[in-house]
Structure 1
């Protein structure tokens, strides 16, 4: 979706807001969609000028009754940014009051070492029962291992193109990040070998264009990019075969739990090797592509809860800086 998709009288200001957020490195993958939602409502409402009234905002809020408290909070925050910008540009707009940030009750699922071992064993033994060109099975072992070993989000992994990966240096340039801020991840030697084996196998398929620098790294048997839906669906089946109970939506475990597990395991490994937790936290934050350290602090609490030895070694000041009461986090 591009900024030109906006059609209402608010479109120029939406485009300006997008540009400001990009310049600040604060754009996330949901902002386009939120602004498009505003734009669609403004068109349906019949907004004719750039004077946004309180009744207009109240009317929009009434259409949000089926959305979660956190979703409405996030959208109202975007409204405040947009309308404040419009006021600065000379428009007379009502700016809604800031909502209290809802408390998040979501607890990320962290796989045990035994569960991870079962996942790797089961995914390696999966075979397609028929010659299905739409099957992603050839690619999934590498995708799942990359999600865990590098802590990537699904969209980041599936957006990797051939030109982004450098196996000689052991690095991947990640473009499709949550806040559109590029970062480089460094691969473990075992992960480099996994990707090297996958690429060699992929390139033996009698399809043209697979080695093109712009071609997606992860493809199905027909050479088309793997979709997130295919990965999610297979992972649910994988969990069942491994005897790992699925708790339902927002309860996990799910594919994204591999990222949560990476964060906890990485932090645990760094602290066990003697690294001060204050030095480890910024490293983890940068590797995960978080916008702030606050988003990563959540994993400190998860790590201390998961590993008793780290909890025992945590100082009293750590307990003060990272209290047990959970805040919402940026995954």
Structure 2
């Protein structure tokens, strides 16, 4: 934790963050909002040991052009902090959360033909001017890995050489969104492509001793920036329109994996709700409710495949307000 807090609540904020992180949470969003709470308390000159109702009411005021989701999150983190302070035996006002904002986001799911076109476009990409700081070298494998495993792009580029086991065919995901490690089994075919990439990568004319990451640029540095730019180029070449808030993104490869996995299980006669916890862990979701959205999406896209699923069960799990719109 790099943030330094200075308000009357500084020690409580620091202790609360440490508690969350010891429980296994990254709590990066929490640190961001708690820092804002700390600055807000300094601006107001608050001296109360606990959160006052006036503080909570002013904090809950909607800001100009602020989304309902951001306001909901802001109030939620103040609620958590105030509840923690009360648990310490200090009188503190706990604000009431507003209604959960209605989320209308629907992920884009690529068709098999679109995926094939994206891969073909990526394989045909070439640099107009040769330079060694481009991530184009790893793009063909990176896109195939995202599609085949449902990894988030941040998780994929954070993989280190020691995290990629191509003998037993699994990936160890350490740097996940929710701060929890998980093991991802991979297919023999994907492992074979990874081995081919690694063979060529290890023969790049750069010093490999300092390259601890699996996906690297031609100069041996970690791959990251530039990936989205190349992906958009692939979409252009594949004839897939993009550029609006509803148009496809790289992250939708993850959504496509989830829906495809559920459709494949249904086609094989596997009970979706037996397999749902497995897929939830595989994707690194914090709750089955988040994964359950993919069942609803699969139901709408492949009605014939899951005709034997009791549609009443689609609402067994509570509707999760945001299943990775970002």
The match for 2:257 among 262, 287, 290 is 262
Partner in structure 2 of residue 202 of structure 1? 201
The match for 2:223 among 226, 230, 255 is 226
Map 1:22-171 onto structure 2 (within 5 A): 22-48=21-47, 50-62=49-61, 64-171=63-170
Which range moves more in the overlay, 288-297 or 302-311?
A: 302-311
Which range moves more in the overlay, 6-15 or 145-154?
A: 6-15
Q: 1:305 touches 1:311 (CA, 8 Å); kept in 2?
A: no
> Whole-Å Cα distance in 1 between the matches of residues 266 and 220 of structure 2?
42
Query: CA shift at 1:166, angstroms?
Result: 0.8
The DSSP-based 3-state class of the residue aligned with 2:226 is helix
Query: CA shift at 1:211, angstroms?
Result: 6.8
Change (3 A) 1:32 1:210: farther
Structure 1 length-normalised TM: 0.90
Q: Does 2:284 match 1:292? A: no
The DSSP-based 3-state class of the residue aligned with 2:133 is coil
> Whole-Å Cα distance in 2 between the matches of residues 61 and 267 of structure 1?
40
Question: Please, which runs of 5 or more residues in structure 2 have no aligned partner?
Answer: none
Q: 2:170 touches 2:186 (CA, 8 Å); kept in 1?
A: yes
Q: Does 2:273 match 1:274? A: no
> Whole-Å Cα distance in 1 between the matches of residues 2 and 92 of structure 2?
21
> Whole-Å Cα distance in 2 between the matches of residues 52 and 24 of structure 1?
24
The DSSP-based 3-state class of the residue aligned with 1:101 is coil
Which range moves more in the overlay, 98-107 or 8-17?
A: 8-17
Partner in structure 2 of residue 330 of structure 1? 323
Deviations along 1:135-192, one digit per CA (max 9) or x if unpaired, are: 1100111111111111111111111111111110111111111111110001111211
Deviations along 1:65-104, one digit per CA (max 9) or x if unpaired, are: 3331112212211110111111222333322112211111
Q: 1:301 touches 1:322 (CA, 8 Å); kept in 2?
A: no
CA RMSD of aligned residues (A): 2.2
Q: 2:50 touches 2:82 (CA, 8 Å); kept in 1?
A: no
Query: CA shift at 1:3, angstroms?
Result: 5.0
> Whole-Å Cα distance in 1 between the matches of residues 177 and 118 of structure 2?
27
Q: 2:161 touches 2:213 (CA, 8 Å); kept in 1?
A: yes
Change (3 A) 1:165 1:8: farther
> Whole-Å Cα distance in 2 between the matches of residues 210 and 267 of structure 1?
41
Change (3 A) 1:116 1:86: same
Structure 2 length-normalised TM: 0.91
Q: 1:203 touches 1:210 (CA, 8 Å); kept in 2?
A: no
The match for 2:307 among 288, 309, 312 is 312
Change (3 A) 1:276 1:311: closer
Q: 1:103 touches 1:327 (CA, 8 Å); kept in 2?
A: no
Matched residues, number: 324
Query: CA shift at 1:320, angstroms?
Result: 5.5
Query: CA shift at 1:205, angstroms?
Result: 1.5
The DSSP-based 3-state class of the residue aligned with 1:309 is coil
Which range moves more in the overlay, 70-79 or 257-266?
A: 70-79
Which range moves more in the overlay, 104-113 or 36-45?
A: 36-45
Change (3 A) 1:154 1:5: farther
Query: CA shift at 1:40, angstroms?
Result: 3.3
Deviations along 1:15-36, one digit per CA (max 9) or x if unpaired, are: 3222332344454542232223
Q: 1:3 touches 1:14 (CA, 8 Å); kept in 2?
A: no
Change (3 A) 1:210 1:310: farther
